[in-house]
A and B are shown apart, each in its own frame.
Chain A
């Protein structure tokens, strides 16, 4: 006996949306979505925190061509991590490089890959930010008797920090979204959870719609934090 599937024209969409099953899937897995979001946030926070440290170090090295080895190393690092896909970096580190050092685990491996990637971008942001500060500021600091690191720390970096907030927030938002790539090495962040819930429920619109909304809320909050920081550091 063949089953007749009636063709319902546009009503199909409305029926689908009103479908109580899709809503139930989301509601029943809500904690799982939230746990995934939490892991996404944790991964992002660690990646950008380490990324900022790496970015500051390599950004400063990029500004000191007189230290040939440091400069060459910084150039190599930035070129590699900006010039290859993060997806490939995640796979390379998890399957190719980190196993040499023993069983590090997927999450740690993901943090390392994302930090290294983020650090390369932040290094360029730091470099641009420092170069945007007027040359006279360094001279003023030096003329008061500060050495180069002191003038950098007390005078240049605070001003550069203000300049780099918008591109830095941009990088944080990009990194938050790009952590979805680590689902490939089974870190159970938001995207992987979405994949699993979808596979068991076949409710693509509901599941991926929920995932998208959660990502959006997180990036929107980050953007608002950036606006707040900019206002707070304004001296006008």
Chain B
């Protein structure tokens, strides 16, 4: 589904990604862990071209999205993204947040979009909040709406950029529950996270990144119980 091949990315003098290669198979949940500034978020943002790469290829469904002739908007419709700070549209109600892109971009009828949005809001448990504005929602509720908004485009892949890092501890669980359900339904997911419990329980594979490279990857048991790289060992000893 996603193939990242030898990607380099720098912001000015700062090299953020130094030759990253990885893949996500269909219906696979890949969790990316690592210290701050290791390039996890940048990698995720490169995958839907919110950042452009200096060199290397990124293939989604076999299409090289770094190629200049590609219509990135079409690609992004199939790649849902959930942000750390939610980025809900504050001038739209919960329901409108979810229906906006399908009606304007996919041009589906308002009735159908409404129906689709209601089902999604049911799924994330917020159908009773359909007509309120984002600033009346808690952080956890906002993030669940953001997930519903991304799902409304019926993406093939979902990217999560530290979806629970900005939440109060008691709200982390409700968001992870929604993500867990999604994973069990067979959604292809790439999740940058600091929630080691989630990575261990839901992730099929875990990538450990440090200083712009993938230091180690493997199954959750392998990474968490038996890390082979000293840098992975030292990181995990601090966070677990």
A interface with B by C-beta (< 8 Å)? 134, 136-137, 139-147, 150, 154-155, 158-159, 162, 233, 235-236
Contacts and interface: CB of A to CB of B under 8 A. Distances in A.
7 contacts: A136-B85, A136-B87, A140-B89, A143-B48, A143-B81, A143-B83, A144-B105
A158 B91 contact: yes
Nearest to B50: A139
Interface stretch (B11-19, B22-30, B71-79, B174-182): B71-79
A159 B91 contact: yes
B50 A140 contact: no
A145 B50 CA distance: 11
Interface string B94-138: 000000110011000000000000000000000000000101000
A228 to B, nearest CB: 17
Given A139-B83, A150-B105, A144 B149 contact: yes
A139 B105 CA distance: 15
> Which DSSP category, helix, strand, loop or mixed, fits chain A's interface?
helix
Contact of A154 (B50, B87, B90, B104): B104
Interface of B: 48, 50, 73-74, 76-77, 79-81, 83, 85, 87-91, 100-101, 104-105, 133, 135, 149-150, 153
Given A139-B50, A159-B89, 4 more contacts: A134-B87, A145-B73, A145-B74, A147-B73
A145 B89 contact: no
Contacts of B133: 235-236
A42 B135 CA distance: 40
A144 B154 CA distance: 10
A142 B105 contact: no
Q: Which residue of A145, A154, A236 has the most chain B CB atoms within 10 A of its CB atom?
A: A145
Contacts of A140: 81, 83, 87-89
Contact of A144 (B76, B90, B135): B76
Contacts of B87: 134, 136-137, 139-140
A235 B77 contact: no
A233 B150 CA distance: 26
B84 to A, nearest CB: 9
A235 B76 CA distance: 29
Nearest to B71: A147
Q: Which residue of B77, B85, B89 has the most chain A CB atoms within 10 A of its CB atom?
A: B89
A146 B101 contact: yes
Contacts of B100: 144, 154-155
B88 to A, nearest CB: 8
B73 A146 contact: yes
A139 B202 CA distance: 27
Contacts of A155: 89, 100
B105 A145 contact: yes
Nearest to B134: A235
Contacts of B90: 159, 235
Nearest to A235: B133
B83 A145 contact: no
B71 to A, nearest CB: 9
Nearest to A161: B91
B89 A136 contact: no
Given A139-B83, A235-B133, A144 B91 contact: no
Contact of B101 (A134, A139, A144): A144
B89 A235 contact: no
